[in-house]
Amino acid sequence: MKTFLLKRHYKLILAFIAFIAFMVLLVTFLGSQQIIAYTNKQQIETELCVTCYENDIDIFDDTVVHEIQILTNDDTYDTMIETFKKTGGKEYFSVNVMIDGVLVENVGLRLKGNASLSTVLGGAMGGFGGGDRGGEDDGFAPPAFGKDGEMPDFEDFQFPEGFEPTQEFTDAMSGSGSMMDTFGDMGDGGKEDVPYLLKFDEFVEGQCYQSYAEIAVRTSGIMANASMLHEPITNYAISSLGIPISETSYAGVQLTQDSEPIMYVLAQQVDQIFIDEYFPDSDGVLYKISQVGNDFSYLGDDPTLYADIFSQETNINDADYTPLIKFMKFVTEASDEEFAENLSDYFDVVAFADYLVIHNMLANNDSLAGMGNNYYLYYDFGTEIFTILTWDTNESLGKLSGGMGGGGMFGGENGTGSVSGAETDIYWENSGDFGKFFEQFEEDSEGEEINDDFMLEMDDEKGDKMGMGSHLLKERFLETSDFLELYEERYKFIYEQLFETGILTEKVDEYSDMLTKYNFENELFDQNAYDDAVQVVLDFFEARYEYLQETKLLSGRCRSEE
C-alpha cells in the first residue's frame, strides 16, 4: 500500500524536495542581503517605475529648501515661451535636471497652468474652463475682455453696489502694471513668474524620481503673493486632518544654466501614484474638473457631452464616464427626499462636508464651492462611492474673495479696511460675489456686449453663469437639513483643530523662519517684500479668527436648529 502511494504521488514528492532545495539555496545566497518589506509608496515604485532615481533627501521634505538646477539654455526656454505665445501649446522639451545633488537625465519640461501662465505671458489660451486636455493644468482662466481681448475703459465703469476696490486693484485692472506686480510678486514677468511641470517619464518610459512620475513647479498663482505660503499652508491644514492632499515643499530653482535660482513651491500631482498612496482600492477611476464653473448638471447619457467638463485621469482603457454620469443624473433629478436618503450611496458625504468647511474656513473661492474649480472625484468600483479631492490651493486665504461681504477682492484690504476673505460667510452665501463683479463687464459704457466668451450662459432654469458660484451638489447638500447639520458639526470640529490650536500661524512662522535663514545665505528673494507678504497672511488669520468667533455657529447657535 505504501509502495502504491509512493508511486502514485512521486511527482508531488519530487516537487516538494525541489522546493526545499531551492529555499535552502535562496537562504544561503541571500543570507547577507538586506530584504526590504515594501509598503505603499515603495509598492507604487516597483509597479509603475522601471528606473527610479533615489535621494537621501525626500523631495517633499518641507523642513528644507530644495535645490533644483535645470540644465538647459536660454534658447530652449525662449522656444518654449514663443511656442505658447503663438499657439497656446505647451510642448515638452528634453532637459537634464539636478535635484538636491542627484542628476536625472532626459526629463520632460514644459510650461504649466492656465490663468497664472497667461497672466504673465499672454498669448493664445484655451479660454475659460479650457486649457490642456488630460487634466494636466489648473487654475481659472481670466476673462478675454472685448472683441480682441482688450481691457474695458474703467473711466465710466461702475462697480457692483457695496464693492469698494483698492487703488491697487483699480490700477491693475486699468493697465497700470501687471496683476502679478500689483499683488506682491517678486518678479517682473520673466522666468520667475512662470509655472512648470517636470515629467520624468515623458522621454524615458518608466523613469521616476522617488516614485514620482511628475512634479509640479508652481508659482503663487494669478494673484501673486511674495510669501508663497497659500498652497503650502492650505495643504498642511488639510493634511493635518488626515485628508488626502498633495504634498508640497519649497525649492530654489535655477531655470537655465546661466540664471539665478528663484523660489518656487513643488507640488505632488494627483494621479495614479497619488491614488495608490492614499486609497486601499486604487483600481477605480479618477476624474478632474476641466470646465471652470460647471454647475454639475446632468446633460444626458452621451459620454461625449461630458468630455469638456471632466477629464478622465486613470483607468482609461477599462472605465469611462458611466459612473460619473449616473452620479450627476442623481444629483440633478433626485427629489429632496431621495437626495437626503440616498446621496451617501453615491458619495462620501463626510469627506464632502470637510471639503466645504476647509475651503470656506480658509476663504478659497478657487474651489468647487466658490467658482466650481480645482477638484477631483475618485470613484471606487468596490464601494461604488465617489470621494472629492482638493487640487491647486494657491489662491486660498482670501486671495480671490468677493468684495460684497467677503472682505475685499484680490488681496490686501478692501475699501472698508477689512482683510480680504476674512468675512467670508460660513454658509457660502456670498461665494458668487466674484461672479457678480465680472457681470459688470458684460456691457461697456455704451451698452455693447464685450465679454461674450467669458460670460457663458448655463442651460439650467436659473440662467446661472459659469463661474458664478452655482453648483448643484453644493447647493443641494447645504439645503438638506441632515447634511447641513453634518456640515455644522464638522465646521466646529475643524475650527477647533485649525484655529483654536494655532497650528496654522505656527506653520507660517516655521516656513518663514526656514526661508529667511536660507535667503540670508543664498539671496533667493527680496527679504522686505517677503516679510510684508508674510504679514498679509498673518493678518488674514487674525481677522478670520476674529470673524469666526463672532458667528452664530461658533458662538453656540446652529442654523440647522433654527
Per-residue model confidence as pLDDT tens digits over 90-132:
999 999 999 999 999 999 999 987 766 766 676 554 443 333 4
Q: What distances in angstroms separate CA 319 from CA 298, 324, 370, one per listed residue? A: 19, 11, 30
Domain boundary residue, one of 473, 503, 533: 503
What are the grid coordinates assigned to 357, written together? 468647511
**Residue position matching grid coordinates 479660454:** 127
Domain boundary residue, one of 275, 301, 328: 275
d(CA 451, CA 437): 13
Question: Residue 420 has what pLDDT?
Answer: 84
Buried b (16+ CB within 10 A) or exposed e, 437-452: bbeebeebeeeeebbe
Q: Cα Rg for the chain, rounded, in angstroms?
A: 26
**46-61: per-residue pLDDT in tens?**
457 899 999 999 999 9
Q: Is 104 helix (H, G, I), strand (E, B) or coil?
A: strand
**Are residues 328 and 392 located together in one domain of the fold?**
yes
Average pLDDT over every residue of 236-260: 95
Q: Is the torsion defined by CA of 400, 403, 407, 409 positive or negative?
A: positive
Of 66-80, 339-353, 424-438, 449-463, least confident by mean pLDDT is 449-463
**Are residues 227 and 249 located together in one domain of the fold?**
yes
What are the grid coordinates assigned to 230, written together? 497659500
Of 8-12, 102-106, 376-380, 406-410, least confident by mean pLDDT is 406-410
Question: Residue 257 has what pLDDT?
Answer: 82
**Are residues 310 and 434 located together in one domain of the fold?**
yes
Do residues 434 and 426 lie in contact, with contact meaning Cβ atoms separated by under 8 Å?
no
Give me the numbers of helices (H) and strands (E) for the chain, helices first please: 18, 13
341: left (phi over 0), alpha (psi -120 to 50) or beta: alpha
**Are residues 320 and 248 located together in one domain of the fold?**
no
Structure letter (DSSP) for residue 378: E
Is residue 559 situated within a structural domain? Answer: no
Q: For residue 213, is pLDDT > 80?
A: yes
**What phi, psi does 212 have (nearest 5°)?**
-95, 130
Question: Residue 222 has what pLDDT?
Answer: 72
Dihedral of CA atoms 353, 358, 360, 361 in degrees, nearest 10, equals: 130
What are the grid coordinates assigned to 400, written together? 480671490
Cβ neighbors of 541 (< 8 A, separation 6 or more) are 397, 499, 504, 505, 508
Burial class (CB in 10 A: 0-12, 13-18, 19+), 495: buried
Dihedral of CA atoms 29, 34, 40, 45 in degrees, nearest 10, equals: -70
Of 217-226, 227-236, 547-556, least confident by mean pLDDT is 217-226
Question: Residue 219 has what pLDDT?
Answer: 87
Average pLDDT over every residue of 6-28: 48
Q: How many domains does the chain have?
A: 2
Q: For residue 172, is pLDDT > 90?
A: no
Average pLDDT over every residue of 462-485: 79
DSSP string, 222-276: SS--TT--HHHHHHHHHHHTT-----EEEEEEE-STTSPPEEEEEEE--SHHHHH
**Are residues 252 and 376 located together in one domain of the fold?**
no
Is residue 304 situated within a structural domain? Answer: yes
Structure letter (DSSP) for residue 11: H
**Are residues 232 and 309 located together in one domain of the fold?**
no
**Cross-sheet strand order for the sheet of 385-390:** 310-312, 285-289, 375-380, 385-390
Residue 67 or 121, more confident: 67
Give the whole-number percent of the chain exceeding pLDDT 90.
Answer: 57
pLDDT confidence band for 66 (50 / 70 / 90): very high
d(CA 443, CA 436): 13
Question: Residue 562 has what pLDDT?
Answer: 56
**What phi, psi does 419 have (nearest 5°)?**
-70, 140
**What phi, psi does 102 have (nearest 5°)?**
-105, 125
Angle between helices 472-479 and 481-495 (to 10 degrees): 90
Q: What is the chain's mean pLDDT, rounded?
A: 78
pLDDT confidence band for 194 (50 / 70 / 90): confident
**Are residues 444 and 476 located together in one domain of the fold?**
yes
Cβ neighbors of 254 (< 8 A, separation 6 or more) are 67, 68, 69, 70, 260, 261, 262
Strands (E), 19-116: 51-53, 65-71, 93-99, 102-111
Q: Is 2 helix (H, G, I), strand (E, B) or coil?
A: helix
Q: For residue 328, is pLDDT > 70?
A: yes
d(CA 359, CA 373): 12
The residue type of 430 is N
pLDDT confidence band for 214 (50 / 70 / 90): very high
Question: Residue 21 has what pLDDT?
Answer: 54
d(CA 114, CA 269): 16
Helix ranges, 137-253 (H): 167-173, 179-182, 230-240
Of 92-101, 244-253, 400-409, 474-483, least confident by mean pLDDT is 400-409
pTM for the complete prediction? 0.79
Question: Residue 533 has what pLDDT?
Answer: 96
Cβ neighbors of 53 (< 8 A, separation 6 or more) are 99, 102, 104, 200, 207, 208, 209, 210
Kindly give the pairing relationship between strand 385-390 and strand 375-380: antiparallel
Is residue 250 situated within a structural domain? Answer: yes
Is residue 476 situated within a structural domain? Answer: yes
Q: For the chain, first and last CA: distance in Å?
A: 85
**Are residues 268 and 287 located together in one domain of the fold?**
no
Is residue 49 situated within a structural domain? Answer: yes
d(CA 278, CA 259): 38
d(CA 410, CA 421): 9
Angle between helices 349-361 and 481-495 (to 10 degrees): 50
Burial class (CB in 10 A: 0-12, 13-18, 19+), 458: middle
Average pLDDT over every residue of 477-495: 98
189: left (phi over 0), alpha (psi -120 to 50) or beta: left
Average pLDDT over every residue of 404-419: 45
Residue 560 or 195, more confident: 195
Question: Residue 189 has what pLDDT?
Answer: 42
**Are residues 287 and 383 located together in one domain of the fold?**
yes
Strand partners, 443: 449
Domain boundary residue, one of 222, 254, 275: 275
**Are residues 94 and 195 located together in one domain of the fold?**
yes
Is residue 556 situated within a structural domain? Answer: no
pLDDT confidence band for 474 (50 / 70 / 90): very high
Is residue 30 situated within a structural domain? Answer: no
**Are residues 327 and 269 located together in one domain of the fold?**
no
Question: Residue 224 has what pLDDT?
Answer: 73
Residue 384 lies in domain: 281-503
Of 178-182, 288-292, 341-345, 452-456, least confident by mean pLDDT is 178-182
Burial class (CB in 10 A: 0-12, 13-18, 19+), 482: middle
**Are residues 454 and 353 located together in one domain of the fold?**
yes
Is residue 401 situated within a structural domain? Answer: yes
